[in-house]
């Protein structure tokens, strides 16, 4: 049992959440399953999460990463708030990923704010898995 727990914690932990009023979750569920199948410990926080609730889940779950799925167009409001809350709560070491419908000209802005990577529609699951396996640290600290 202890070996299983130690092995389970060795897996990177990632909280996935739908932030804001976006109710479309098929994509994030596909990503959750692909990450789980690749050996990650995935915690899906669900729909309609506030930035505060997401950061609380990250802290409660001792997550290494948080993936925010946003299709509503509110990414330039919600993502900076999550980044700020992570810093304020001493979680600047947690990496932040964004997925969803993000206009190309706004991707560099999110990266400058400290998002580690933005994954748009059509991104392959192996690409997401490989990125997470190759990267372990946050950029926003």
Q: What is the pTM assigned to this prediction? A: 0.89
pLDDT greater than 50 at residue 7: no
pLDDT at 139: 55
- Residue 13's nearest CA partner among 36, 37, 29 is 36
pLDDT greater than 60 at residue 1: no
Distance CA 69, CA 26 (A): 10
- Domains in the chain: ranges and CATH: 2-134 (3.40.50.280)
Q: CA distances (Å), 90 to each of 58, 59, 78, 79, in order? A: 11, 9, 19, 17
Q: What average pLDDT is seen over the chain?
A: 91
- Read off the pLDDT of residues 48-86 as tens digits, 9 standing for 90 and up: 999 999 999 999 999 999 999 999 999 999 999 999 999
pLDDT greater than 60 at residue 140: no
């Amino acid at each position: 049992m202890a070996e299983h727990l130690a092995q389970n914690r060795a897996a990177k932990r990632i909280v996935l959440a739908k932030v804001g009023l976006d109710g479309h979750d098929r994509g994030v569920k596909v990503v959750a399953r692909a990450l789980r199948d690749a050996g990650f410990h995935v915690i899906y926080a669900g729909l309609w999460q506030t930035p505060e609730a997401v950061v609380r889940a990250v802290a409660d779950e001792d997550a290494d990463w948080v993936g925010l799925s946003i299709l509503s167009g509110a990414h330039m409001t919600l993502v900076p708030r999550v980044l700020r809350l992570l810093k304020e709560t001493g979680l600047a070491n947690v990496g932040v990923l964004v997925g969803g419908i993000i206009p190309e000209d706004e991707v560099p802005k999110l990266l400058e704010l400290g998002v580690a990577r933005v994954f748009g529609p059509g991104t392959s699951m192996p690409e997401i898995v490989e990125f997470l396996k190759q990267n372990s640290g946050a950029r926003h600290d």
